[in-house]
A = this chain, B = another copy of it.
Amino acid sequence: MVTVAVDANGADLGPAEVAAGARAAAGPDVRVRLYGPADQLGEPGDGVEIVDAPVSIAKAPEPAAAVRHTPDASIVQAARAVAIGEADALVAAGSTGATLAAGLLHVRRAKGVHRPALALPIPVPGAPVLLLDVGANTEVRPEHLVQFAHMGAAFAHQVLGVAEPRVALLSNGEEATRGTPDVQAAHALLAGDGGRGIAFTGNVEGTGLVAGEADVVVTDGFTGNVALKLMEGVSSTLVRAIRERAGGSPRAAAGGLLLKPALRGLRDDLDPEAQGGAYLLGLRRTVIVPHGRFTRGGFARAVEVAARAVDHDVTGRTHAALQAAGALRRASEPAATVPDA
């Protein structure tokens, strides 16, 4: 039996939508414990526990400070429940910043991990590509990138079901000599002993990222965040331009109408809700961050992914993989600072 703590505050459609999704995912093997305004979360029972936690810090301008100073916030209560073992994993639908901060402060970094990273499955036609870091760490060192590679590979294999994930570094050229000095250093480490146990395939460029040339693509949180927002921007700009043109003339409008079912199929292919959201990797327990725009289907999927991560002991296996590759942070190294949210 797996228990997933779910923060229901902060989602665009409100706590009731998150609760509906979580309920759908609850069952004989998965219990959910909902944190939010109890009057919007429905009745307990059937694997659903309700914790009345109406205080939300999802919109707080300084998430780290809000987490420290708002112990009764729903995200803080949910993260503490995971920290003390009352729940096995955390799903937080609200703000990424607050979830990161609560995760770091309460769930805490896994032993030997420099920095947690935010991993997002990019909806590429065919199979999704796991991109990390998409924004938890603006600056990283080569050894952080090496850890991200192992964290991403373990998650892709154990949770997303990729048999042997191909892992690549995002760079401005495919050759090992391309990229910033940090990317080049990470490349050298991963091509050597630091890549033991994973299928490191070298660098991919921006085109390769969306062409499915790798299953896991590793980058720093600055580049990853720019890339993520850019993909969203290009997709929506293109789709909007096509839609406008499809309405431009009666002939084109008829064409757009006839194409609609086919395009709906494409949208399902690319549905970000299907993957449950982003995954915060490198903490002691699994933390899933569904997008605030999700509907109940996406929140249900997030709970299922979290439960699967617990079932497959992805945190334990990640630790073993880092150890086998000699990529664990040594006790003598300085502890990482809290990354940007």
B207 touches A233 (CB 8 A): yes
A206 touches B181 (CB 8 A): no
Number of this chain's copies in the complex: 2
A210–B143 CA distance with the chains assembled, in angstroms: 33
| Interface bits A194-206 vs B (CB < 8 Å: 1, else 0) | 0000000000011
B263 touches A258 (CB 8 A): no
From B227, B246, B259, B265, A227 is in contact (CB under 8 Å) with: B227
Q: How far is the CB of A258 from chain B (nearest CB, A)?
A: 3
From B205, B226, B251, A258 is in contact (CB under 8 Å) with: B251
A323 interface hit (Cβ, 8 Å): no
A232 touches B206 (CB 8 A): yes
Known contacts A138-B180, A231-B206: A265-B245 contact under CB 8 Å: yes
Q: Which of A222-280 contact B (CB under 8 A)?
A: 222-223, 225-239, 241-242, 245-246, 248-249, 251-252, 254-263, 265-266, 269
A274–B165 CA distance with the chains assembled, in angstroms: 41
A95 interface hit (Cβ, 8 Å): no
B242 touches A266 (CB 8 A): yes
Known contacts A210-B234, A232-B206: A258-B261 contact under CB 8 Å: no
A258–B232 CA distance with the chains assembled, in angstroms: 27
Q: How far is the CB of A250 from chain B (nearest CB, A)?
A: 10
A124 interface hit (Cβ, 8 Å): yes
A206 touches B227 (CB 8 A): yes
B237 touches A259 (CB 8 A): no
A70 interface hit (Cβ, 8 Å): no
A209 interface hit (Cβ, 8 Å): yes
B229 touches A245 (CB 8 A): no
From B125, B171, B207, B246, A230 is in contact (CB under 8 Å) with: B207
From B221, B234, B245, A259 is in contact (CB under 8 Å) with: B245
Taking CB atoms, residues of chain B closer than 8 Å to A135 are 172
B237 touches A211 (CB 8 A): yes
A138–B251 CA distance with the chains assembled, in angstroms: 48
A246 touches B259 (CB 8 A): yes
B259 touches A230 (CB 8 A): no
Binding site for B on A (CB under 8 A): 124-125, 135, 138-139, 170-173, 178-181, 183, 205-211, 219, 221-223, 225-239, 241-242, 245-246, 248-249, 251-252, 254-263, 265-266, 269, 340
7 contacts between A and B (CB under 8 A): A138-B179, A172-B222, A172-B226, A208-B233, A234-B238, A245-B262, A251-B258
